[in-house]
Amino acid sequence: MEQLQSKEQFDKFIHGDGVVFMFSAGWCPDCVVIEPHLPEVMEQFSEFQFYKVNRDDFIDLCQELDIFGIPSFIVFKNGEEVHRFVSKDRKTKEEIVNFLQEAKGK
């Protein structure tokens, strides 16, 4: 999963046909638990572009998007937020798959 490098990059990427941002941090145990499952999930949902956003590097963006718990996911299509899975709770692979399945239909 490609790492987001700048706010300008974020502003550009949200205008894609389907972009998933995963907000996480290296110190987050719940984020580390789902990492091994992400390549399979990304392959299953190849219609989306996936980007990892380090919460510590983009704290202003997280505040702007109301990301107060990680890991969290937001889907954008054509510049609009279409779906979010944002909470402080640990996410399972199944929950992420269900979330992306729902996002696919939006």
Active site residues: 28, 31
Interior/surface letters 10-45, b for 16+ CB within 10 angstroms, e for the rest? beeebeeebbbbbbbbeebeebeebeeebeebbeeb
What tokens does 50 get?
Answer: 């996936």
Type of residue numbered 89: D
What tokens does 36 get?
Answer: 């091994």
